[in-house]
Amino acid sequence: MVHLNPQPGSSTFHGEFRDCHVKPTRGALACMINAEIEAVLAVMRRNVRWGIRYVADDDHLEHSLIHSLKELRKQIFSWQHQWNTINPAVYLQPFLDVIRSDETGAPITGVALSSVYKILTLDVLDLDTVNVGKAMHLIVDAVTSCRFEVTDPASEEVVLMKILQVLLACMKSKAAARLTNQHVCNIVNTFFRVVHQASSKSELLQRIARHTMHELVRCIFSHLPEISNSKPVIATGSRSFAAEVASVLDKDHMFGSIQQENGHVGVEYDGQSSNEQASSIPTGKSADEMDASKIEETGTVEVAQDSENSMTEPFGIPCMVEIFHFLCSLLNVIEHIGIGPRSNPIAYEEDVPLFALGLINSVIELGGPSFSQHPRLLALIQDELFRNLMQFGLSMSPLILSTVCSVVLNLYYHLRKELKVQLEAFISCVLLRLAQSKHGSSYQQQEVAMEALVDLCRQQTFMAEMYANFDCDITCSNVFEDLANLLSKSAFPVNGPLSAMHILALDGLVSMIKGMAARIGNELPASDEHSVNFERFEAFWTLKCDNYDDPSCWIPFVHQTKYIKKKLMVGADHFNRDPKKGLEFLQGMHLLPDKLDPESVASFFRYTTGLDKNLIGDFLGNHDEFCILVLHEFARTFDFCEMNLDMALRLFLGTFRLPGESQKIQRILEAFAERYYEQSPHLFFNKDAALLLSYSLIMLNTDQHNVQVKKKMTEEDFIRNNRHINGGNDLPREFVSELYHSICENEIQMIPDQSASSAVMTSSHWINVMHKSKEAAPFIICDSRSLLDRDMFAILSGPTIAAISVVFDQVEQEDILQTCVDGFLAITKIAAHYHFDDVLNDLVVSLCKFTILLTPLSIEETILAFAYDVRARMATTAVFTIASGYGDYFHSGWRNILDCVLSLHKLGLLPTGLVSDAADDKESSPEPALGKPATSSLSTLHTPSLAPQRKSSGLIGRFSQLLSFDMEEPMLQPDEELLAALQRAREVIQSCHIDSIFTESKFLQAESLLQLVRALIFTASRLQKGNSSMEDEDSAVFCLELLIAVTLNNRDRILLVWQGVYEHISNIVQSTVLPYTLVEKAVFGLLRICQRLLPYKENLTDELLKSLQLILKLDARVADIYCEPITQEVMRLVKANATHIRSPVGWRIIISLLSITARHPEASEAGFETLSFIMSEGVHLLPSNYVLCVDAARQFAESRVGEVGRSISALDMMAGSVVCLVRWSCEAKNSVVEEDAMKVSQDIGEMWMRLVQGLRKVCLDQREEVRNQAVLNLQSCLAGVDVIQLARALWFRCFDHVIFTLVDDLLDISLTNSSKDYQKMEGTLVLAMKLMSKAFLQSLQDLSQQPSFCKLWLGVLNRMERYMKVRFRGKRSEKIHELVPELLKNTLLVMKTTGILMASNDVGDDSFWQLTWLHVKNIVPLMQSEIFPDDELERIKHNKAGVLPVTEGALLVPSSETTA
């Protein structure tokens, strides 16, 4: 038996009275009881009746009530034992007799009740007290049967209050565990009668009575969690509660007093008993009880017999079942009074249902999940309670509806696992229906329903559970989707201002979104995404989940069922248009087998929602053989076991519409009767009996509920019509009568509702609900993890963004605006987490519209509007918060972000460091910006601007113009309002941290970064097109600066963005013919990119340096203006990155840029400094840049822009570069590969040749110092390559193209030009002649054996001969005339000594000997005799042995003059 059974001495009940903490001693208790006796006697003596003695048999005797009190008074002080060993009945009985007596008045009864209450509160009675159970029974029996004479209304109300007080004290007492189930039921019964009678009494009594009954019910059910369910119990005996409710409520009032008879309160007024008005407790089951008992798991006679004694057991589950059923039955009063869902709530008394709902809510709160452990209690909630809640949920009274919603919220929280179908029905048929304002619901009803839905949405797991249990269940409606659509639509103000309903719906939407956002990061471990792919048929109605408690099992399952449900909805739509094509479509989707079978089609009809029930009825009633088979299979899907015929018929006909054709009806009812008889053969003789009775019920339903039928069928008519149908016998009269009344009271809906969400909850519908609850899949409990949020967000995101945007656009209250912003940010977080990039971009587009930054207003108007429009400020903050935190997921949204940034730039509100990159800018020396004022251009790029100054387009720039001293135009001072607005706007923008969007772009994902760069290029290109205004040009410059900053920030991913950046800069540079800021920023941005990226991207060095070719393509006018700063940047680039430049292509571009500056007045200094850095000491000279550097140095040497000293320095650098050639030659000799060494040697020869050729050109310079220095440097270069094994052919080339050409050119210049143009040419000619002589002697040994040597030698002699003949201003040069013979003599001696020039007897003009002396005689006629005296010459001629051997050291050392 299920009841409380605490151990002695334990304190199971914790309802002790807090005003009594210490149990009195034995003597104190005696004194207390004595005082109570005295109090009762004193009140009795005040009454005349009790003040005289009664005469009996001539003996003067006291009344038995007084006598018993006096006798107790004598005994109490003589008791020596502990009070818990004394039978409480001894000292309680005299007081209880007074309470029971109908001779006592209200004052006396009240004092006796107070005495009993005092004894209870002193904890005299506890579980260790002797016979405490019997004592508690005596107290309850006496108080519930209390009788007294009413003397005045006030005293009557006092007694009633004290009755409630004593009974509540009994329940809170420690000894309450000894009360039986019956006594507790009697207490509750008495309480309710007092509560009902109090409705005609004072307000105070009414409130106290209701309050104490709440306390009583809470006290009883607070012990439900402590009770374990050992076995189910069917309790009887107190079922009279429900039967008495109607009779109690039908009475207008209760009479003067309360009396108890057989457990029920009777009344007595002026001594006249009216017990006949009180009914006695029936010992058997009522009809109502019989119906309720059907939902019990056991119905055997043995259990019922055991339950007869359950009411005498210590109280527990049996009495709780009775009390809870009693509370539920209080809601049935609506049926007795005849109130319908559309009735006026004022037309009937609201007190009873409100009071009952309040008590039920308290019971649910206290019992909580413990109800699920007790099937009897749970069955009451699932059926009777929820059925009544559905009815009262459609009440026109907002108060009742609000209370009902509170009860449902508690039921969801505690018992949703056991109430799946009931919750679906309530949400769909009550809350959604009312909130949608369907069927004429009032605004108050809509608001209450919406509040209830929003409260549910605020539950952490509600929406996830709705989606998992209903939207992903093929037999249920899409509760989550319907709720999301309702909230989003309800947030839209259609044709009026924003109301509380709109804000409430918004709150619900935001609550759902914020709940999803809060769950992000709390997800299941990553697993393979469950894919659903039906490639073969599988009976979808048979799918089950292995474990509904394990998310790893049920998540794939609900994904699968949701996929099937979507396909079924599409298939249902096809079926509703054309049943045949619909079935074919389902076959193609593998939801039906390739070859249709009756079972599959029947199951499709039975378990698919959204089908046209008219079409189902026509299909099932068709005479086609396949349709008949489907009909019978359809009937077999129903379970009619232990179900009345009318209930089974209601359930069956609720799934389709019965056709109107009699033959179809016949076939359908035959299938139904066959199935019903198959499962309930004990009721009918055969299936024909079930068919006939079913037909009769259909006809009765039409007769009773068709308004066109005037004469209705009576019960006797119905019974008579159904005689002898059960195999020739009659069916039991009671059975047929019950069916008659059931049909009359509740119509069978012959036209079932097509949509479950809008259906009115009729009895037939409720039967379907209860039947569905038995077959429904278990309720899936979701935890705080993000399990299905991705799928839910896909449904929710679009309507939610639209709804929040509309509210955000129309509302003015800041708190509601903040709610909208919170919703936007939560949507952003979810969309980013689940990679809903389109959702995120759409959200950004929507938000940007609210910033007013894109509105075409003047600058002043925009500033004022932005500063004083809280919506615009919040939207702007939200936009840039999203951009900063979730830029990884932006695509098209970047364009809107940039439009806002550009607008802020035009307003002058951006932070000054916006376009700075993340690298250390201290590396670059700061330079003054010579372009537009810093107020409008907030760039911190260290790029000088030489473009013409322009007026600022920003507001700050305008202020600076207003405050300037330019008096050409009248200027107005900005007012204080504008200044204050500007300050506020600045503060808002500063808090947005817009700079982080670009400075932190290095953390963006590759795709998002690419989209950002493309957006910058697109925006800048758009501003460049057409006839751009000043503001557009300024914005294009700003976009370019941002683009360069982003590029520099992403140097590690430069390859990703470089192509687009380069093309954009190239378009700017090549389309520009006039200097202005945009091309300036493009050029210097490009230089800075190269400068900053070269150290980090060696593989990209050539690509970066090639981009500098754009500078060479600048228009001449543009290039001339920017030449100096460009050179400065190139110098920085080279100094910082010279070691990283290796390729000829890169050096060619760098040297080309430097060469251009050689003749530029401002840029040449920086250019020469850069070239000096490269060539000095040969550190950065490379084979790849040697020739380029030599040519550039030559150009600087030839340039007259700088001082002579710079030209000489350039020549020195050229001459000094020979050292590098020598070094490279030595390195080449050590090369292992001979072919490589030869190749390097050839390259070095060519580089040397380019060097001497370059020097030769400078030797012709007009400036004497430069010219002479060039000749000397050329001489050193010729002499400095002794260690280099130059090819002999190279020397011949050198003489032909360099030395001889130089000597000839100098001579020609001296002869053809005036001395003013070329001063002191004589000295240069002397140096040139010496250079030729030295070069010839240097190469003499190597070249003398070559065939071309004779030609070379004659060339030297010819130049000497010409120089001897030269005249300056008609006079010969003494220096040359002295120098040439000496040089010639020295040369001849060396040739003689080396054996190259020897006497020969050969006669002919082509003899080397003859040719030599032929030319020498033209120069110095007597030179031969000096070199070869006659005697020596004669000896040589006669010496046939040839040339004498030359001894080592015989070479003639030149004189100091010749070597000078």
Q: How far apart are CA 1373 and CA 54, in angstroms?
A: 183
Burial class (CB in 10 A: 0-12, 13-18, 19+), 496: exposed
Residues 6+ apart with CB under 8 A from 518: none
Specify the pairing of strand 272-273 against strand 268-269: antiparallel
* The two three-digit tokens of residue 406, written as one number: 């509170």
CA 317 to chain centre: 49
DSSP string, 996-1028: HHHHTGGGS-HHHHHHHHHHHHHHHHHHHSSS-
- Evaluate whether 329 touches 336 at the Cβ level (below 8 Å): no
Q: Which residues of 325-336 are buried (b: 16+ CB within 10 A; e: fewer)?
A: bbbbbbbbbbee
Using alpha carbons, select from 1174, 1072, 1092, 1165 the residue that is nearest to residue 1123.
Answer: 1165
- Evaluate whether 396 touches 381 at the Cβ level (below 8 Å): no
Q: How far separated are the first and last CA of the chain, in Å rounded?
A: 136
Q: How far apart are CA 1023 and CA 1029, in angstroms?
A: 9
Catalytic residue among 297, 642, 661, 1457: 661
Residues 6+ apart with CB under 8 A from 994: 880, 884, 901, 904, 910, 911, 914
Helix (H) or strand (E) holding 56: strand 54-56
Residues 881, 883, 886, 892, CA torsion sign: positive
Q: How far apart are CA 1109 and CA 1070, in angstroms?
A: 11
Q: How far apart are CA 1209 and CA 1201, in angstroms?
A: 14
- Evaluate whether 665 touches 621 at the Cβ level (below 8 Å): yes
Residue indicated by tokens 């600045």: 986
Q: How far apart are CA 1280 and CA 1260, in angstroms?
A: 22
Q: How far apart are CA 955 and CA 1040, in angstroms?
A: 21
* 3-class SS shares of the chain: helix, strand, coil, % to 5: 65, 0, 30
Q: What is the number of other CB atoms lying within 10 angstroms of the CB of residue 801?
A: 23
Calculate the dihedral angle through the C-alpha atoms of 830, 833, 838, 842, rounding to the nearest 10 degrees.
40
* Residue 596 DSSP one-character state: -
Residues 6+ apart with CB under 8 A from 1027: none
Q: How far apart are CA 588 and CA 188, in angstroms?
A: 64
**Which SS3 state, helix, strand or coil, does residue 265 take?**
strand
- Evaluate whether 1041 touches 939 at the Cβ level (below 8 Å): yes
Q: What is the number of other CB atoms lying within 10 angstroms of the CB of residue 164?
A: 26
Q: How far apart are CA 381 and CA 420, in angstroms?
A: 12
Respond yes or no: is residue 661 known to be catalytic: yes
Q: What is the number of other CB atoms lying within 10 angstroms of the CB of residue 964?
A: 9
Residues 1094, 1097, 1098, 1102, CA torsion sign: negative
Helix (H) or strand (E) holding 1368: strand 1367-1368
Q: How far apart are CA 466 and CA 787, in angstroms?
A: 13
Residues 6+ apart with CB under 8 A from 459: 412, 413
* The two three-digit tokens of residue 1018, written as one number: 């697109």
Calculate the dihedral angle through the C-alpha atoms of 201, 203, 208, 211, rounding to the nearest 10 degrees.
110
Using alpha carbons, select from 872, 891, 774 the residue that is nearest to residue 831.
Answer: 891
The set of catalytic residues is: 661
